[in-house]
Every structure is written in C-alpha cells, then in structure tokens.
C-alpha cells in the first residue's frame, strides 16, 4: 500500500509542471530573441524571432500588429525563376518540439509603411496572435539596418549583401 501511494505521488509531481505550462497563460508559446531592422518612416521593415511551442498541441502564428506600421503581414521568401521574392503566408506553423525560425531570407513579420523611424537601440511593441495561445505582445529590439541577427558580435558592420 505504502509503496503504491509513493509511486502515485511521484507520478503526479512529474505530471504537474507540464500540465501547468499547457494551461497557464504564460508560456505555451515563447518568443525568443525578437529583433527588427532599423528603417525610416514611410518605408518597410521586418521583424525576426524564434518561436518555441511549450504546449502539447501544434499552434500557428496567424496575425501580427504593431503601432509602428500601417500594415503588418506574415511573409516568407520563395525562389521564383531564380529570383528570391517575398510572399505573404496565411500562417506560420509553430510545431511542438520544432521552433519556428523567422530570419532574414526566410519567414518574417513584415512591417509595411512605418509610421515613424525605427532607430537602432530602441524597442518597438509587436503583438502576435496565435491560433491557440492567443495574443502576445513582445518588445522587439531594433538593430542597425545592416544587422543579420541579435547577439552577434559577429559582422559588426554587416554590409548586408544578402539576396
């Protein structure tokens, strides 16, 4: 009897954290290292990030909005007759155990028609709407126009020759 109760307790303890994260508000979906490119009012920019799904169910990023852009779209890049072109996508899949990676040359959140300058060093709010996890607003650091990602002490003055 005693042994059985102990086992049950251990099982409950092990199950609890995942149950909490699946149902809690906080962390079903986590946005890691968001960043956006500096640009000027009236022009376009893009935001990039990695999205991790901590829940037990597949989710999708279905929309985004920001006060710094007139229109915000979800885009990808596709090769079209040897030319890289941006295309809107309906949603970005956020699979369990397989983070969605938004990066230059791939998936991105397109900020169309900036309502003001985006200056390197500031942060701008971006609201992401997930099919299951709901809305999440993240503060997105703005990196210099030539940057290719955060955390890189890498190419300090990236010349941005990427096509």
Element of type H or E holding 4: helix 2-23
Q: How far apart, in whole angstroms, are the C-alpha atoms of residue 24 and residue 108?
A: 27
Instruction: Return the number of the residue (76 or 127) whose C-beta is nearest Cu ion.
Output: 76
Least Cβ distance, residue 71 to Cu ion (angstroms): 11
- The least CB distance from residue 102 to Cu ion, in Å, is 11
Shortest Å distance, C-beta 29 to Cu ion: 22
Residue 136 near Cu ion by CB under 5 A: no
Residue the block writes with tokens 């920001």: 66
**Bridging pattern class, strands 69-80 and 100-102:** unpaired
Name residues contacting Cu ion, limited to 139-158 (CB under 5 A): none
Site map 57..76 versus Cu ion, x via CB under 5 A: ------------------x-
Determine phi and psi for 143, rounding to 5 degrees. Answer: -105, 160
Backbone φ and ψ of 110, nearest 5°: -85, 125
86 binds Cu ion (CB under 5 A): yes
Does 89 contact Cu ion by CB under 5 A?
no
For residues 20 to 49, the per-residue mask of contacts with Cu ion, x marking binding by CB under 5 A and - elsewhere, is: ------------------------------
Could you give the CA distance from residue 120 to residue 123 in angstroms, rounded to a whole number? Answer: 8
Instruction: Kindly state the helix (H) or strand (E) to which residue 100 belongs, with its residue range.
Output: strand 100-102
Candidate segments 14-22, 84-92, 95-103, 130-138, binder of Cu ion by CB under 5 A:
84-92
Cα radius of gyration rounded to whole Å, the chain: 19
Q: Which is nearer to Cu ion, 28 or 128 (CB)?
A: 128
Q: Which residues bind Cu ion (CB under 5 A)?
A: 75, 86, 110
């Amino acid at each position: 009897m005693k042994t059985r109760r102990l086992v049950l307790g251990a099982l409950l303890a092990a199950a609890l954290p995942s149950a909490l994260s699946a149902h809690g508000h906080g962390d079903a979906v986590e946005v890691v290292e968001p960043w956006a490119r500096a640009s000027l009012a009236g022009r376009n920019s893009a935001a990039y990030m990695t999205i991790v799904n901590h829940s037990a169910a597949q989710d999708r990023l279905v929309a985004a909005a920001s006060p710094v852009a007139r229109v915000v779209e979800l885009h990808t890049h596709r090769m079209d007759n040897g030319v890289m072109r941006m295309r809107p996508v309906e949603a970005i899949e956020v699979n369990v155990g397989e983070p969605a990676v938004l990066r230059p040359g791939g998936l991105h959140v397109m900020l169309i028609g900036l309502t003001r300058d985006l200056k390197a060093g500031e942060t701008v709010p971006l609201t992401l709407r997930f099919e299951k996890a709901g809305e999440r607003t993240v503060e997105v650091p703005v990196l210099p126009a030539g940057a290719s990602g955060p955390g890189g002490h890498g190419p300090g003055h990236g010349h941005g020759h990427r096509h």
